[in-house]
């Protein structure tokens, strides 16, 4: 594996050959973000709204009485202090914070039937794992952030800071989990 300094030396040598001056910026530094994992969980009602006339009630159309829960995790290089500012989830911008969690991250497959089956969301790692906590409701669409670098419309982009450096964690898709049943 080539270290960051070796990569910069190669870049410096290549640019020096072209007769230019090298300025090292944070953009050339290697990101401490190793992986971003995103999951969603729908909550389904115990009794369909509107009685038995079909999905979603009398009109027959789909109904979503409960908001989708998003479980988002960012794995960063061990010992790197990290904070989140925002997260773009499916085109909607949320204010976000980070909460450090232990790995592995394991949850009940079906929250209504505890201790039956479990799902591992984040494997055991020596790196630091943070859960991204979204503040509801979404504050805007992700259009402003997309001007700098497009966010994944169907996925997740987490906007992170570490000291003065700014980083992003991307998950190209959100993996749906087994739905939870409302009690």
Name residue, tokens 């010992």: 79
At 61-70, the pLDDT tens digits run 455 678 899 9
Rounded to an integer, the average pLDDT of 131-138 is: 90
Domain containing 117: what range? 31-181
The pair of structure tokens assigned to 126 is 């020596």
Indicate the pLDDT class of residue 114, thresholds 50, 70 and 90: confident
Are residues 161 and 175 located together in one domain of the fold? yes
- Mean pLDDT rounded to a whole number for the chain: 77
When mean pLDDT is compared across 4-8, 71-75, 163-167, the lowest value belongs to 4-8
Number of domain units in the chain: 2
d(CA 37, CA 35): 7
Residues 73, 124, single domain; the answer is yes
12 and 101 co-located in one domain: no
Same domain as 86, residue 140: yes
In angstroms, the CA 105 to CA 87 distance is 20
Pair (132, 70) in one structural domain:
yes
């Amino acid at each position: 594996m080539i270290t960051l300094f070796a990569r910069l030396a190669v870049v410096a040598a290549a640019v020096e050959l072209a007769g230019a001056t090298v300025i090292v910026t944070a953009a050339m530094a290697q990101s401490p973000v190793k992986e971003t994992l995103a999951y969603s969980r729908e909550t389904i009602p115990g009794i369909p709204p509107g009685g038995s006339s079909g999905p979603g009630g009398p009109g027959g159309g789909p109904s979503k009485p409960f908001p989708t829960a998003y479980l988002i995790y960012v794995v960063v290089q061990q010992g790197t202090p990290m904070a989140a500012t925002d997260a773009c989830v499916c085109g909607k911008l949320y204010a976000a914070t980070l909460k450090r969690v232990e790995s592995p991250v394991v949850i009940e497959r079906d929250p209504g039937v505890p201790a039956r089956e479990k799902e591992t969301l984040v494997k055991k790692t020596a790196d630091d794992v943070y859960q991204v906590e979204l503040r509801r409701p979404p504050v805007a669409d992700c259009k402003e952030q997309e001007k700098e670098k497009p966010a994944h419309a169907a996925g997740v982009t987490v906007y992170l800071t570490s000291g003065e450096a700014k980083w992003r964690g991307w998950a190209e898709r959100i993996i749906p989990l087994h739905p939870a049943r409302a009690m």
